[in-house]
Amino acid sequence: MCAAFAVYSAVVYTSGTETPHLEPISEPARAGQQVFQEYNCIACHQFYGLGGYMGPDLTNVISKRGPIYARAFIASGSARMPNFKLSEPEISALIEYLTFVDGTGSYPPENYQVNWYGTVVQEDDPQ
Amino acid sequence: MNATTGNVIGIRFMRLGLLALAAGMLFGVIGGFQFLFPEFLQELLFTKTRPLHVSLVIAWIFLAAIGGIYFYLPRRCDLSLSWPSAATLHYWVFLVTGLVILACYVGGRFGGREYLEYPAVLSIPIFLSWIIFGLNYFRTVQKSREPWPVYFWMWGTGIVFFLITFTEAYLWLIPFFRDSMVREIIVQWKSYGALTGSWNMLVYGTAIFVASRISENPGVARSKLAYSLYFLGLFNLMFGWAHHTYLVPSATWIRTFAYAVSMTELLILGKILWDWRASLEEYQVHRYCNAYRFLFAADMWIFVNLILALIISVPAFNLVTHGTHITVAHAMGSTIGINTMILLASVFYVIREELPKSVHAGCSRYVAIGYRTTNISLAVFFAALVVAGLGKGFYDGESFQEMMQSIRPALLVFAVSGIALMVGLWVVIWHAFRLLGLVLSPEPVVGQASLQRDSA
């Protein structure tokens, strides 16, 4: 069983999560990820529904609301979201990162099919 | 080094765990209210209260489970620790690293990964302390002349898989993993799924140990059924994690496979239903024993949680429940309802065995009140989260605020029952902490089989 686990893990790490249609993360987006982690945004937000539930999911915030809207939100906060007083480069990096995340898929899934035995096939799934 | 260092250190781990639980509940309650009133306690933002809560309660689970192992091996299994000073070292590494992590949270220095929200370098002492623990554990149980009871296997498996999955959780530091969002997030949640599986091995092993001792039936831990359930648990630990990531665009087979694996847990559900009558009868016999009572509560919560887990493991249902408070209900049901109840059973088992009845029976009434308050408020808390989750899952508008408004009543019930839950647990924790202190006390309590005296 342990050998099966090792093989399975290796396959998950490689072909199971292969996304040849996507570019790897860029340097500016990577910097944005760092900012996202430093301020622990995941305590309140989610990507693909994973994270804290105090704020909305951010997977597709760029395509749904636009970078200008996201920038304004991050720069000033709201009654419910704290203003972290981020610097201009930090905010730009965050927008780069959110744009990168946006390109990786859609959440909640938009085009999908439910099979009779309960599995779901999504349009975004790499074939 | 005296022969009982291992015993004493086990109790210290447990007491530290109880403190962590008490504090963790407080931050949970504060966080719950911040959910409703974001302006509440701005000095301690939700970015801080959430990791404080999560890390402290996870610390409780590990501390209490590890404490039990350090205590039971020498004291109840006749296997003195092969490396007693390493157990003390383990305790201090845990304590100091834990304090540094808490200070980082309060000071706003984050690693910012879900669950492991402290700066990544602090994982190094944690990892090393588990290596020490693992070496000590395996060298100790190796001395056993009999074939291992199932809980030895479970504890060992928990330790090994902790090391594997904790490492896996940091693979994102390598460019190959973090270059791809899909790969990063899938590997992250693969590791978290199995990490919880690893502590479940430690905790369920403890449950079987305590149950076999209370019922004075060692066969429980050596039966074919016990080993089969262990393998089923291990199988699920390894392959059943993907319900966290059904909605992340990865290869479809990953989720179909995990779905099939998760459904094998139906066997456990069937077993619980099958044993229903016998469990109730056993409850009648042992219900005056605090330890047994907590084990019984854990059984109930296993039943409720398993049903919820099976439902959310069906991808079609997961579509609705994912990213909602139903996930929180599942997490709270298993960490409080199952893990905490089992570990409290373990703590009260130690108390029952180490202190004279006249001492520990004296506070039984308070413990019983705390026990009831905890379980009833947990049931309300759990139900409120499920209702809030359904509200979020079925909301089909575009406005996050409108959705949050619609589930506000359920969140209010959740926050208020959270207070009751905290108070109920505090009552139990206070008595457990105090009684464990008596076990450690150099003044032998009348009639007590004192650890200190043994070491003289």
User: Does the pLDDT at position A123 exceed 80?
Assistant: no
For chain A, say whether B273 makes contact (Cβ under 8 Å): no
pLDDT at B189: 93
DSSP single-letter state for residue B338 = I
Cross-chain CB nearest to B247 (options A38, A107, A114):
A107
Q: What are phi and psi of A122, to 5 degrees?
A: -105, 155
Tell me the average pLDDT of chain A: 90
Chain A hits for B250, CB-CB cut-off 8 Å, are: 16-17, 125-126
Please indicate if any CB of chain A lies within 8 Å of the CB of B319. Answer: yes
Sequence spans of domains, chain A: 24-108
Of B92 and A127, the one with more pLDDT: B92
Q: Which two tokens stand for residue B345?
A: 């059973």
Angle B386-B372-B332 (CA atoms, 0-180°, nearest 5)?
Answer: 30
Interface of B with A in 118-147 (CB under 8 A): none
CA distance B456 to chain A (A): 45
Who among B244, B253, B316 is closest to A120 (CB)?
B316
d(CA B218, CA B208): 10
Distance from CA of A11 to the nearest CA of B (A): 10
**In Å, how far is B180's CA from the nearest CA of chain A?**
5
Give, for all 456 residues of chain B, the pLDDT tens digit.
333 555 799 999 999 999 999 999 999 999 999 988 988 888 899 999 999 999 999 999 999 999 999 999 999 898 999 999 999 999 999 999 999 999 999 999 999 898 899 999 999 999 999 999 999 999 999 999 889 999 999 999 999 999 999 999 999 999 999 899 999 999 999 999 999 999 999 999 999 999 888 888 888 888 888 898 899 999 999 998 888 888 888 888 888 888 888 888 888 877 777 776 777 777 777 777 888 889 889 989 999 999 999 999 999 999 999 999 999 999 999 999 999 999 999 999 999 989 888 888 777 889 999 999 999 999 999 999 999 999 999 998 889 999 999 999 999 999 999 999 999 999 999 999 999 999 988 766 654 444 544 443
DSSP-assigned states of every residue in chain A: -HHHHHHHHHHHHTGGG--TTSPPPPHHHHHHHHHHHHTTGGGT-EETTEE-SSS-B-TTHHHHH-HHHHHHHHHH--SSS------HHHHHHHHHHHHHHHTT--SS-SSEEE-TTS-EEETTS--
Helix (H) or strand (E) holding B238: helix B224-239
Closest CA to B155 of B210, B209, B201, B194: B201
Tokens of B438: 């008596």
Classify residue B367 by burial, with Cβ atoms within 10 Å: 0-12, 13-18, 19+. Answer: buried
pLDDT tens, residue by residue, B270-288: 777 777 677 777 777 777 7
Nearest to A46 among B38, B180, B323 (CB): B323
Q: Scanning every residue of chain A, which has its alpha carbon at the shortest distance from the alpha carbon of B168? A: A9
Which of A17, A47, A112 lies nearest to residue B250, judging by beta carbons?
A17
Chain A residues whose CB is inside 8 A of the B314 CB are: 118
Q: Where does residue A38 rank: exposed (0-12), middle (13-18), buried (19+ CB within 10 A)?
A: middle
Distance, in Å, from the CA atom of B67 to the CA atom of B343, rounded to the nearest integer, reads 10
What is the chain A residue with the closest CA to B248? A48
Q: How far is B1 from chain A (nearest CA, A)?
A: 38
Phi then psi for residue A19, to 5 deg, are: -130, 70
Is B244 in CB contact (< 8 Å) with chain A?
yes
Tokens read off for A63:
């395509």
pLDDT at B455: 41
Do B183 and A13 make contact, defined as CB atoms within 8 angstroms? Answer: yes
Amino acid at B241: W
What would the pLDDT profile of A22-52 be if each residue is shown by its tens digit? 888 999 999 999 999 999 999 999 999 999 9
| CATH of A24-108 among 1.20.1070.10, 1.10.760.10, 3.30.70.980, 3.40.50.150 | 1.10.760.10
Q: Residue B396: what pLDDT?
A: 87
Residue the block writes with tokens 């489970």: B65
What DSSP character marks residue B363?
T
- pLDDT at residue B448 in the model: 47
ipTM: 0.93
CB atoms within 10 A of CB B456: 7
> What is the per-residue DSSP string for B199-219?
HHHHHHHHHHHHHHHHTT-GG
Query: pLDDT digit string (tens) for B14-59?
Result: 999 999 999 999 999 999 999 889 888 888 999 999 999 999 999 9
Q: Which residue has the tokens 């905890």?
A: B374
Whether the CB-CB separation of B73 and B131 falls below 8 Å is answered with no
If you measure CA to CA, which chain B residue comes closest to A113? Answer: B316
Q: What is the pLDDT of residue B450?
A: 45
Q: DSSP alpha helices (H): ranges in B287-340?
A: 290-312, 315-321, 325-332
Q: What is the DSSP letter of B105?
A: H
Chain B positions in Cβ-Cβ contact with residue A81 (cut-off 8 Å): 38
Residue among B342, B403, B414, B347 nearest B379 (CA): B414
Q: Do A40 and B250 touch (CB under 8 A)?
A: no
Q: How many CB pairs under 8 A join A and B?
A: 166
Q: Which helix (H) or strand (E) holds B231?
A: helix B224-239
CA distance B417 to B33: 11
Packing angle between helix B364-394 and helix B408-440, nearest 10 degrees?
150
The whole-angstrom separation of Cα B366 and Cα B84 is 35
Enumerate the residues of chain B whose CB falls inside 8 A of the CB of residue A101: 181
Coil vs helix vs strand at B383: helix
Q: How many CA atoms lie within 13 A of A93 on its CB side?
A: 16
* Fold classification of B281-456 (topology level): Cytochrome C Oxidase; Chain A (1.20.210)
Interface contact flag, B316 A41, Cβ < 8 Å: no
Residue B411 to residue B32: CA distance in whole angstroms:
8
Contacts of B110 in chain A (CB under 8 A): 37-40
Distance from CA of A39 to the nearest CA of B (A): 7
- Which residue in A36, A53, A120 is closest to B112 by CB distance? A36
CA dihedral of B14, B15, B19, B22, whole degrees rounded to 10 = 70
Amino acid at B81: L
Q: How many residues does chain B have?
A: 456
Q: Please, where are the H alpha helices in B112-180?
A: 123-141, 150-168, 175-178
3-state secondary structure of B143: coil
Domain boundaries, chain B: 281-456
Chain B segment 374-413 residues within 8 A of A by beta carbon are 392, 400-401
pLDDT tens-digit readout, B83-137? 999 999 999 999 999 999 999 999 999 998 988 999 999 999 999 999 999 999 9
Instruction: Give the closest-approach CA distance of B314 to chain A in angstroms.
Output: 6
Q: Determine which of B178, B179, B182 to mutate to test the interface with A (most A C-beta atoms within 10 Å).
A: B182
**Close Cβ partners of B24 (under 8 Å, ≥ 6 residues apart):** B52, B53, B54, B55, B56, B57, B59, B60
B71 touches A: beta carbon within 8 Å: no
Q: Does B248 touch chain A (CB under 8 A)?
A: yes
CA distance B101 to chain A (A): 14
Q: Do B316 and A118 touch (CB under 8 A)?
A: yes
- Print burial letters for A8-35: b (CB count within 10 Å at least 16), e (below 16): bbeebbeebbebeebeebeebbbbbbeb
- B181: chain A residues, CB-CB within 8 Å: 22, 25, 47, 100-101, 104
pLDDT at B240: 86
